[in-house]
Structure 1
Amino acid sequence: MTTSAVIVCPSSRLVDGGVARKLPVTHSGEPTTAFFVRYQGLAHGYLNRCPHMGSALDWEGHVFTRAGDQLMCARHGATFRPDTGECTGGPCQPSRLTALNVSEEERDGALVVLWWPEGKTVPV
């Protein structure tokens, strides 16, 4: 079964190292959120759960370190590669964030970020 893409936001809304765009989702039937960021010019999406304890990664939409080169869990300080979700430091090594299938394309004359739901994570 092919799932339709969910429009996350206009592409211009995601800025390298900037604030994440969050959407409500369910994962394995439980309510949570997903977040979408831009890193080195590319859009990425992840389930908003730290693999260490399952808490949300962000603090009011902020997920990047001050340097803008890593994602960081606001609760435990674990760090992750923004392009792969791989844990690079902290209590959750050697795990990774749950990545979402994300693309960008033109829709109705505007470039947008698209999420292609699959697996256990679906839109609300």
Structure 2
Amino acid sequence: MQISRVEIDAGSLASLPDPGAREFVLPPNGFAFGGFVVLCQGQVRAFVNLCPHARRPLNFSPDVFLDRNRPEIICTGHGARFNADNGICVSGPCIGQRLTALDVRVRNDTLLVSWDSSAVAGARNRP
């Protein structure tokens, strides 16, 4: 399998509330899931939008990932909670498992998310 590095524009940092999240599509076409950026306590992170337990997207509603009261990402399918800083599950049926993290950087207020194609394929194919 050939590994390639992919980078996309995930929108403006200034337009993302803190706390807040924004979804984006993971190219190339054919992936059944996307990704999301999360801004929480001034820190920006990005993850593949795929629960490691249920193998489904974390959210039902667009851009809704975060607990309103704590810096945690919630899987709406079964209530698993993930630390927004590192993606590790802190409660629910997948404690200790983690979301697949993607690289994110800010350039001139633009959120640039990048990853190796093998990392995204690995997230999809994990047991």
> TM-score over 0.5 for the alignment?
yes
Kindly report the root-mean-square deviation, in angstroms, between the aligned alpha carbons of the 2 structures. 2.1
1:101 matches 2:103: yes
Q: Percent identity?
A: 29
**Which ranges of structure 2 fall in alignment gaps of 5 or more residues?**
122-127
After TM superposition, the score normalised by the length of structure 2 is 0.81
After TM superposition, the score normalised by the length of structure 1 is 0.83
Aligned length: 116
3-state SS of 1:21 partner: strand
The residue aligned with 1:59 is 60
Deviations 1:65-112 (A, max 9, x none): 120421111111000100100100000112000000111111xxxx11
Deviations 1:27-51 (A, max 9, x none): 9x63211111101112111110111
3-state SS of 2:36 partner: strand
Select which of 3, 9, 17 maps to 2:19: 17
The residue aligned with 1:30 is 31
Shift of 1:15: 1.6
* More helix by percentage: 2
The runs of at least 4 aligned residues of structure 1 exceeding 6 Å deviation read none
The residue aligned with 1:41 is 42
Measure, in 2, the Cα distance between the counterparts of 1:2 and 1:75.
32
